[in-house]
Structures are given as C-alpha cells and as structure tokens.
Chain A
Amino acid sequence: MISPRENLLHACRREGFEWVPLDFLLCDAQIENFKNRTGHTDYFKWFDMDFRWVTLQEHPGYTHGQELYTREELPRDTEFDLLGVGHSKGSAAAYHMTRMHHPLKGDISPEEILNYPLPHFTEAENQELFKEVQSLNQQGLATMCPMQMTIWESSWYLRSMEDLLTDIMFGDEKATLLLDRVTQYAIDRVRLYTRAGVDILSLGDDLGAQKAPLMSVDMWLNWIQPRLKKVIVAAREINPDILVFYHSCGFVTPFIEHLIETGIDILNPVQPESMDFNEIYSQFGDRLSFWGTLGTQQLLPFGTPAEIREVIEDRLKTCGTRGGLVLGPTHLVEPEVPFENLEVIKEIARSLYPKY
C-alpha cells in the first residue's frame, strides 16, 4: 500500500491513486461541531486527509499596528495581521469575519511604499519547519504551505482595492513599487518553504467574481502574471518537481490557459456555481488537476446526501482512474453547512472508489 503522501502526489500528477484524496477547511463554528459530534480534536486525521499544512515563523515588521495608520482612525477593537492589515470586528452575525483596514490607503508617496515594514524571518530561526516537514514525510503525509493572496490580494489589502486599481490604471509607479515588494516577499517565503521540502505550494489571488473576471486578462498579464511567474520560477530553481496549487474564487475560465503556461499544476476551488466542472475538465484536464469542486454556495449548505453523491460520482467518472482531483468544499466551510453533508463526502468518496 502506498503512503497518503504518495497517493496525493500521484493523484495531483494524474498518475493514478488508491483512494480519493480529500480536503476540508472548517471555520471555528464547524470545528466545534466536529468536536461535539465526533469526540475527536484533529479533523485532518478524522477526514483522512493525505497532507498537513506547515507554516514558517515570521515576525511583523511593525511594533504597534496602530502606528501604521496615520490617515485613518481605527475602531478600538482593531487587530493587526502579519502584514499590518487591520481587522475590526463586525456584528455577532459576522462570526469570524472582520472588516479590513488598509495601512497604505489614501494619498501616499512612493517612499511610504518603499519604507513599509513587511514581515521578516530568517532560515536559521525556521529550522523547526525543516524538521516538521521531515517528520510529516516520515509519517507518510504530504506537506503544503499557505501562500495564497500571493501578489494581487496582499497588495490591495495593503493599499485598498480602489487605490491599487487606480494606481494601475494611471500607470503610477506606486503600483509597480508595491507589487514588486509584495512579489519579493513571496519569493523569499517560497524559497524557504521549497528548501524545507514542502511538496505543494499553495498560491493564489482571487481573480474572479461570480460570473465574470474581476479584471481583464490583459491587465492580469501585464501586472500580475509576470510576478507570479517569478515566484514559481524561484521555487522550481530549488525543486523542479514541486507542485503548484493556485486558488481563485469565482469565474476564472479566461485565465486558466495562462495559469497553466505560468506553471500552475492544480486549480482550486473550481466553484461549480461559476464554472461547469466537466467543461473545464474537457478543456484542461489533460494538463491540469483540480482541487475542491463541491460547491459551498448551493450543494453543501442546501443539498441532500443523494445530491452530493450524484455530484461526487460525476466528478470521479469525469476524472477517471488517472486522478487529477482532490475532492473538497470550494471554500472554508461556513456555519450554515450541515455537518452531515461533510461526513457524507468522506463516506461516499471512500465507498465509490475504485468503482470509478
């Protein structure tokens, strides 16, 4: 029998698989549901996931997040992430979601971008990451590193979408400076993760709205794609075999061919409310693998187990014995999804294969 790591990597390379690889990411409320229902604490283990996330240790570039905001008065409960992006709480109905505050929003100089304190880290202080990857591999598990919001999203989180888009449309040097700095930060992290031996780089930027691209393909090709390519090249210079997973919500069909050319191996989440999986598979399935595909807007919150079974059967039939599919919800599983609908994904996937 092969190890979970081998199973996942073979499936992602479309070289066959022994069981259907699964992926779940649960919000805090669903983790509580999981614990209460199963009595277990580790849902990765309980769902038989073939991989684990590993994260490098970084330090924020600022001392007090508040100091980054000279042009905006923040709510008192604002917390700051590693980048210095502020997050203030919404109403109780907003659960874990927060309102974002952008430290570089507004009338700023190019120097403010050049001097913005991005996070920092060293390889010496990240030896635990190397050991963790090794230990997980010894347990037969694959490893994946979280590097989504790679370029476009991190940049607009810092500058605000409106201001970054305006900079781009005006051809303002501030857009170039910010995107370049965020790209270099991504390259530095990618190099460390790759040296640590991570199997799959998880990159991504949301490029799609529900039924349309967020920006034109031309704009993406001019401003984002060349920088994404640099990030991927930096990883492949160290490990030519590293797999590159790319996340973008929404409708991204016009970008897919370019993403493949840029070096993407796996597309996530292939939101079925936005794109028809079978159409995408027929166009790109010989060159691209897929991760996700079970809709969290319609199927999982409102579907019956029979409907979920039908979709999973269809997915497995489409992908066949070569694989190229990791099944899972297309988004962090929010509170409205009945936990039973997550359980049945595992049950069905395990019961169907190797039938399909």
Chain B
Amino acid sequence: MSQESLLQEIAVCVERGKVNEQSPYPPDLKGQPGADELTRKVLDMGASADQVLSEGLVPGMKIVGIKFRENKIFVPEVLMAAKAMTAGMNHLRPYFQSGEVQRKGTFIIGTVMGDLHDIGKNLLGMIVEGAGWEVIDLGIDVPAVKFLAALEEHPGAFIGLSCLLTTTMLNMERIVQDVRDSRPDAKILIGGAPVTDEFKTKIGANWYSPDPQGAVDFLNKQVS
C-alpha cells in the first residue's frame, strides 16, 4: 500500500473510531489494523510526522467535527474517534517534542468557576486537538487567575470558556472581564448550553460557537 493510501486509511480510522487491531469497534473493521498500527507503518515507510498529521489524522477528525455539528454522529462516536486520534498522535509525540512538527497553536480550555460540568468541554478539547492544536485543559471550576497563569505560560494561546448553567454564565462574564483587565488582547472563545452569540457580544468575548467544529474553524482562521 502506498504512503498516500495509508494516510487515507488513517483518516478513515479516525473518522470511524478504529483505534487498533484489537479494538472490536467498529464491528465491520474487526481484526483490521487501526490508527495505531497504520500510523506506525506509514512513519516507518518514511512519511513525515507533518504529513501524518495534516494528511491523515487531521482530515479524519475534521469529518468527525462536521458530522457532529450536523447531528449525524453523537458523543459516543466522537469519543471513539478521539481515541483513534490519540492512538495515532502517540506516535507523533517525539516529533512534537523535537520540534520537527509544529502544532497550529495552543488552546487553553476550562469550565468556568462555579461550574463542575465537563462533557462539552472535553468534546471541544478532543475535536480541537484533532485539528492539530495543542490543548491545555485546566479542568472544571476554573477561576480567571488560572486562565491568566496558563496564558502567561503559553503566550499567544487562545482561551476557551465553557459552562452548562445559566448561573455560571454570569461567572463567564466576570472571567472575561478579569482576563481582559490583565490581557486586553486575549482571544477568548465561549460555548456551552445557555450561551448565545448575543451573550458573547455583551460580555466582550471574541467568538461563540454552538459546536466544537465552529471553534476549530475560528481558530484555524486566526493562524491561516
């Protein structure tokens, strides 16, 4: 199989959530190699890490993000795709560390202070990481000071704020203000069940997306 075909196969494995040969999911690919084996194989054949990322893993995850936005797949399928993506990415870690391959940028995410929900934030992290970004996940119940500290550590990073409750939307507003007070140029994306585009404008965030792929589109546009 050519390198090109293998890279396409890797994209299919990510899209379908095929982690490795042992994985019984999806049933129709049982016994076949997954993102894990195929990534190793194509690297061994001489493909660059950058090629694996940009022509294999990222295109696969982009289809996942789009299908999720269009309600063609749901949380379980995204979870399996993220596992396949991670299996492939594990082979690329040394190349990231050596600087041979670069991520598009850094995205710092967290569920805002007062909110302990993490499913939406985790899905966002999976899909943005799958788009070739480094994701720094600060977890849940995160105050402004932690976002600022992470921004200090990763200059130029974008910030993603998540919340599930109307109660904590108000904290989101405070966090945006606090971050802006110290870093007026910070690029802040917001999302979560009760959040709207109107609310984004009101609180002075830069972008709102009702789905993770919208965040990817925004982030990619900033670095293109």
Contacts and interface: CB of A to CB of B under 8 A. Distances in A.
Nearest to B170: A336
Interface in B142-185: 143, 165-168, 170-171
Contacts of A71: none
B143 A214 contact: no
- Interface size bucket, A side? 35 or more
Interface residues of B, number: 32
A93 B116 CA distance: 10
Contacts of B88: none
Contacts of B140: 90, 99
Contacts, number: 89
Contact of A214 (B25, B75, B83): B75
Given A169-B17, A297-B194, A95 B74 contact: no
Contacts of B76: 165, 168-169, 215-216, 219
A49 B97 CA distance: 62
Contacts of B171: 93
A90 B163 CA distance: 14
Contacts of B115: 94, 97
A334 B25 contact: no
B23 A170 contact: yes
Contacts of B24: 170-171
A299 to B, nearest CB: 10
B143 A91 contact: yes
Given A161-B119, A209-B193, A334-B166, A94 B23 contact: no
B114 A90 contact: yes
Is chain A's interface secondary structure helix, strand, loop, or mixed overall? loop
Given A93-B113, A169-B80, A171-B27, A216 B74 contact: yes
B75 to A, nearest CB: 5
B114 A95 contact: yes
A137 interface: no
Given A90-B116, A169-B25, A169-B76, A95 B193 contact: no
B165 A334 contact: yes
Contacts of A211: 71, 210
Interface string A205-227: 00001111111100100000000
Contacts of A170: 23-25
A65 interface: no
B22 to A, nearest CB: 10
A97 B117 CA distance: 10
Given A170-B23, A210-B210, A296 B114 contact: no
B141 A99 contact: yes
Contacts of B113: 91, 93-94
A160 B4 CA distance: 38
B79 interface: yes
A98 B117 CA distance: 9
Interface string A85-104: 00000110111011110000
Given A213-B74, A336-B166, A166 B79 contact: yes
A163 to B, nearest CB: 10
Interface in A60-99: 90-91, 93-95, 97-99
A298 interface: yes
A23 interface: no
Contact of A99 (B75, B116, B194): B116
A94 B194 contact: no
A301 interface: yes
A168 B168 CA distance: 32
A99 B119 CA distance: 13
B166 A296 contact: yes
Contacts of A94: 113-116, 141
Given A214-B74, A296-B166, A334-B165, A97 B116 contact: yes
Contacts of B165: 97, 334
A212 B213 CA distance: 15
Contacts of A313: none
A209 B212 CA distance: 13
Given A171-B24, A209-B75, 4 more contacts: A90-B140, A91-B114, A171-B25, A301-B166
Interface of B: 17, 23-25, 27, 71, 73-77, 79-80, 83, 113-116, 119-120, 140-141, 143, 165-168, 170-171, 193-194, 210
6 contacts: A91-B114, A165-B75, A166-B83, A169-B80, A170-B25, A273-B194
